Structures are given as structure tokens and as C-alpha cells.
Chain A
């Protein structure tokens, strides 16, 4: 009797599992740009097929951080091009073999341009790009290209520098804290820029760095921030995705910044400003080039000048002269006359890395593997 009941239960379970699997499909979301009613489109003159654009996200748009900023850019594309485009997103795609499958999937579905928004998608995208010569591929924050794969990146070190200016003034202990994800050149640039900015108004500051070995793990980021505060830091910056560091600073009565997107709403007293990236401008340009048929493979690195990066919402507690200095730097970046990494730059072992009055070129910036003077500690072996 027990065996018969078990069999019946098994059958019911199997059937319902099949039903659920059929309903769920895979983890894709389709975002159709506002389209005219089906009847109207059938009767009207044949409209050009909407260009299909796809985005691959490392996390969800709800992270209020990195992916959120990319998604804002995508929404700008939709707003600009209306029914000329159809965007698709696939979120929470792990880097590696899964990414290859997802990107290949998107290419076979007729997407004409695919944006991959994380460093680890580089190799998978390269592989798929070779198989689909008619599809355009764009990889964010990477360094490999091919005939139909371009790369784009933002200059986060520019708003990091501006945050440093604010931090240098607001710190009372002359110790700044940085919660770092991984010791890759991008993050090291940001740490260095933060410190250089602070030293430009307060030569005595030093920066302590703690590595969490992840882009997003809120409790761990909070713990790291707490340990920096325990060690004497009173202004924090982070390279990780969540608001945890900012909130920990608020809890302890210290200061911090928003990163990737505007985080002013998350900490009324601790927030000194947010270092953001606006990806919309680049996305619109890239999509337009695909619509017009003028897409070219390129390596695009944009910063404040092109509207890709900004330092926004400086807090009211920041004194006016510091706000003026930040604006001055911003104007210089916009005009192209100011370069964050201008010599002399000495690393924290005393070795000179950039000669006096020299402006660093892209190659120098790509190879940053040191801490500037004032940053404490050694860099752990990178991933």
C-alpha cells in the first residue's frame, strides 16, 4: 500500500515538474520598446525591422550599483530609438562557459549588437565573435578585440580623484579607507587616484586598503568597512557594488561615497558624493552606428570629458572651497587639459613611476601594478 501511494505521488510530482519546466523556460527577460498596436503596424507602410540589441549582465539591475548603471544606459537607448530597437537582457550570467552559451544564444536569435558588461566575459565573447562575423560584439572593461568585437571602458579614476579631493579635506584622522574587490589594474588605478586627489589638498593623508575578493557581498563589504574604521579610517571609498560600505560608515558616524550610481539616498549623513558612470551616451552611439551601418571596431575609453563619468551630489557639509576645487578639476577634465595621472608619481616603495610633468598614456594606465606613496601595504598576488 505504501509503495502504491508513493508511485502515485511520484507521478504527480513528475508531471508538475514538467509543467513548471515548460512554463519557466530559461532565465531571459524580453524588453520590447513601446511598439504600435499590432493592427496598425499591419496596415501601415512596412516599417524597418527593429534592430535587436542585447545586454549581458553579471548581476541584476536591482543591485543599485554596476549593473543598475548599465541598465539605465539601456533605458536611454530605448527612450532615444523607440521602436527602431528591441532590447533584450540576460542577467546574472556567470563568467565562463555559461557566458559563452548565453552570448551564442543571443547571437543566433538575431541580435545585431551584443554588450557584455563584465571583464570575465572577454574570452567567451571572443570565441562567439569568431563564429558570427555579421554580429557586432562590445565588451566592457576588457583588453582583447577582434574584427567584429570592440571594447569600451570608463575612466572611473577621474571621479575617484574628485572623491579624493573631498576626502582629503573631510578626514580628521588623515587616514582614508578603501574596500577593494580584486587587485587588478582598474582597481589599483582607482585607489591611486583617490589617494592622489586627497594628497592634492592634504599631503599628510594615507590610505588603508582591505581586499574582499568579490565584486558584491554586502555583509563582507560591511565587515571590511568596519575593520577599516576600527583601524582609524574616517572616510571610505569602495570598488564593490553594494551600499554596504556607505551604510557601515553611516552607522559609525564616518563618511563614505557612492560608487557606480547615485547612492545619496542610502545614507543621509555619511554620503559625501557619488562616483558614477553614465553608460547611456556610449550605448546610444554604438546602437546608432549599427542602425546606420557605420559600426567600426574600436577601443573606446571615455571619462568625464565625454560625459561617461561624473562625481555627483557633493554633500552640503563639504566646504565651498573644496566644491570649487572639484569643479575646477571637472572643468579641466572636460576641456582635456587636466590628467589625473600627471608626474611626478612615486610608488610606495620610493620608486619613481612617472616623471615630472609627464601625462600618463593609456599603456601606462593599463599596466598599473603599484600603490602610490601614501597607500599602505603591499598588493596581494592578483587573480
Chain B
């Protein structure tokens, strides 16, 4: 029983990276920008966070550094995609490659360095509950922050005026422009905020989860986060659940292996992408469903005055 509790705890820890990055990408995509550069931004954030934690010993400085690095890269992406109207997919891919190379190059001096374990915070009272205590309430603060962020984002998108404007920009930038909203600046803001969240996710990975720096430490989490936002049909609560599901698949696989149950690890590694394809196929069958779920202008460039 205790093992299941520990499995749940490990799933929450492992899903936090994906959840944070997924929420950031959700913000991007709600504004209509598809950010394929997520992996690159996470790597740059991971390096910045690791470097800051190594130099200062303070985790919050590290997360701030990760956010800043992610935001700067996102700003470059935003300028290219929103003002110069370069193809979003190609630019995103280019930025992933660039982020990977840049982080590897700058990170050469950190290769092989490690940080001490960050530990977890038990919520007083709740942490001692039988089973649910160790399962849910003994996590690194960032896990709790991510859950709070999900609620905050949900409130922002669906209950606030600015969130409505953002969603409007994502659905129909021409209409928003006609109403007088500065569509490109709104999109840039969303892109940078999303990039910052990806950066924090990367920093969390390299400072709390690893905690060491090697090139490519994110090992594809950025791509999973991208699949995740689609799998979650662009809703914050579903992003969180999906993140724990995808993160949990890896932990589940190890648990099952340890118990002697045989499931091909390759099959489990495919699962996140397979389930995303299934969801996409399902919602694409019905044009109404697509209209309800997917931001209409996702991936399409916007020319004011056209």
C-alpha cells in the first residue's frame, strides 16, 4: 500500500514539469501561436536555472532565472512569428534546435556538476494522513504552485476580461483587431508568458528533478508538453491531469517492471503520443467539436490591415 502511495507521489513530482510547460504552451495556443520551440526554451531555462542555483544556492533565484531565459527566447520567437510573420512551425523547430545547441554550448562548464537534493515540503497536518499524506502532501513547493497556477490560469482565461480578450485574439484576430485591440502585442505577451513558464519547467527539471546538468537534460519533455496541450483539448484542468497521466506512465512502467509484470517499455513510451493522436482524431471527426475546442487561428499568421 505504501508503495502505491509512493508511486502517486513520484507521479506528481514527475508530472509537474510537464504540467508547468503544458500550461505555458496552453497560454500560447489560446492566443493563436503554436510554439514548437518549447523544448529549446525548456533547455535554456534548465541551464539558466541550474547555473543560478549553482552560483547562488537559492532555488527561487534559479526559477526566476529560468523564467527570464525562457521569456527572452520566447520574445525572439514572438518577434519572428508575429511581426515578421515567419511560418510558426518552422520557426518553432528552428528555435528548438537553437535552444538545444545554445544550452549545450554555454553549459559546457556545468557538465557533470550536481546540486544537493532539494527535499520536499509536507503540508502541516495533511502530510500525516495515512496513505494520502505521503501520496499527495509531501511534495516540492513547485508542485503545489503548479496546481495553484492551473486554477489561476483557468480563472484568468474564463472569468476575467483580459482572458476573454486573449481568447478572442486566438479565435479571430481580425475581429479583435477591428475592435481596436492591439493583437500583435497581446500575442507577444502570451508568447513571452508561456515561454517563461516553459523556462521555469526546465529549471525545475534541472534543479529539483535531476538535479544535475547534462546536455539535453529535458530529454523530449517539451515535445510531450506540446502533445499534452492538444490531448487536453486546450483546457487547463485537463492539462494538469494529462501531465500527471503522461508523467505517471513512466513511473508506472518502472513500478510494474519492479513487480515483474512485463509491458514493453517502448509501448509505454509511445503512450503519450498515441493518446494524443486518438484525441485529435476524435475531435476532428466533428466540425463542431473542433470549433468548440481548438483556437481557430492557431498557427495562422495575422496581418493587420489585410
Contacts and interface: CB of A to CB of B under 8 A. Distances in A.
Contact of B258 (A227, A244, A251): A227
Given A247-B114, A377-B257, A63 B214 contact: yes
Interface stretch (A207-215, A288-296, A329-337): A207-215
Given A209-B257, A230-B3, A381-B264, 11 more contacts: A217-B219, A227-B251, A227-B254, A228-B258, A230-B6, A242-B212, A244-B212, A247-B117, A376-B260, A378-B262, A380-B262
Interface residues of A, number: 41
A247 B264 CA distance: 27
A69 to B, nearest CB: 12
A188 to B, nearest CB: 15
A206 to B, nearest CB: 11
Contact of B254 (A68, A210, A243, A251): A210
Interface in A194-225: 208-214, 216-220, 222-224
14 contacts: A60-B111, A62-B111, A63-B214, A208-B258, A211-B257, A219-B217, A223-B250, A226-B10, A227-B10, A227-B258, A230-B10, A243-B112, A243-B114, A247-B114
Contacts of A378: 260, 262
Contacts of B254: 210, 223-224, 226-228
A278 to B, nearest CB: 18
Contacts of B259: 231
A79 interface: no
Interface in B110-126: 111-112, 114, 117
Interface of A: 6, 9, 59-60, 62-64, 68, 92, 208-214, 216-220, 222-224, 226-228, 230-231, 242-244, 247, 250-251, 266, 376-378, 380-381
Contact of A243 (B212, B255, B266): B212
Interface string B40-57: 000000000000000000
A63 B255 contact: no
Nearest to B250: A223
Contacts of A210: 254, 257-258
- Residue in A64, A208, A219, A228 whose Cβ sees the most chain B Cβ within 10 Å: A219
A244 B117 CA distance: 11
Interface of B: 3, 6-7, 10, 14, 84, 108, 111-112, 114, 117, 205, 209-212, 214-215, 217, 219, 250-251, 254-255, 257-260, 262, 264-266, 269
Contacts of B10: 223, 226-227, 230
A243 B112 CA distance: 8
A23 to B, nearest CB: 13
A224 B269 CA distance: 14
Contact of A227 (B217, B255, B265): B255
B252 to A, nearest CB: 9
Contact of B219 (A9, A92, A219, A227): A219
A376 B211 CA distance: 30
Contacts of B3: 230-231
A68 B270 CA distance: 32
Given A210-B254, A211-B257, A220-B250, A64 B219 contact: no
- Residue in A62, A216, A376 whose Cβ sees the most chain B Cβ within 10 Å: A62
A60 B260 contact: no
A381 B266 CA distance: 10
Contacts of B262: 377-378, 380
7 tightest Cβ-Cβ pairs between the two chains A and B = A62-B111, A227-B254, A64-B112, A231-B258, A251-B117, A230-B6, A377-B260
